[in-house]
A and B are shown apart, each in its own frame.
Chain A
Amino acid sequence: GQNIDQPTEMTATEGAIVQINCTYQTSGFNGLFWYQQHAGEAPTFLSYNVLDGLEEKGRFSSFLSRSKGYSYLLLKELQMKDSASYLCAVTDSNYQLIWGAGTKLIIKP
C-alpha cells in the first residue's frame, strides 16, 4: 500500500529552527510537496522536490532523498505565524497526490 509518515505534532520556540520529517512508500514517485495549512484555511504551497538534494526558499528549505524515501522541511528563524499544520504529499506513478496526515507545529514565545 501507499503510506506517508510524518510526526503528528511538534513544538518549537520562536526564533529557533525546526525540522519536520516525512517518509514515504508509494507506487512510483513523481515529486514531493510540502504545504502549509493554517486552521480553517486551505493549504498553501511551500515547496516541490523531484530530484535529490536541498531546495532553499527564504526561511524554508526542503530536502529529498529518493533512495531513502525521505524528505524534511526545515524552518529557520521561527515566527509565531509559522504555527500551522505542515502537510507532506507525494505524487505517485499515476500522478495522484498521496497526502500525509500533517504535522501540527506549535510555536512558543
Chain B
Amino acid sequence: DADVTQTPRNRITKTGKRIMLECSQTKGHDRMYWYRQDPGLGLRLIYYSFDVKDINKGEISDGYSVSRQAQAKFSLSLESAIPNQTALYFCATSDPTSWETQYFGPGTRLLVL
C-alpha cells in the first residue's frame, strides 16, 4: 500500500461549490504539506503543518483552508471554488530525521468549471 494516499484522485466541480481533498499517511511523520502544481510554475506551497496543533500558511493560502485531524490526516478545503483553482494538488510528508526528505502522494486533479 502507498505511504501517502489522496482522495479523490480526480474531481470536477462547479464555481462556488465547497470541496474537500483528503490526505492520509502511514509513514508516521509529524510534518505534512499541501501543494498545487500548475504548468510551468512548479509546485507552490498552500499550507503546512508540523504537528497536529500546528498550521501554517504557505505561499498561496488565499481561498483555501486546512484541517489536521490527526497525525496521519491532513485535509484541504476550497470553501468556494473558482476556475483558477483548477490544478494538480499534492499532499506530502517530510521526515526531520532524514533531513526533511519529502514523500508525495499521487495527486488530485481538480477541474473547476
A, B co-complexed: no
Query: Which residues of chain B have a CB within 8 Å of any CB of chain A?
Result: none
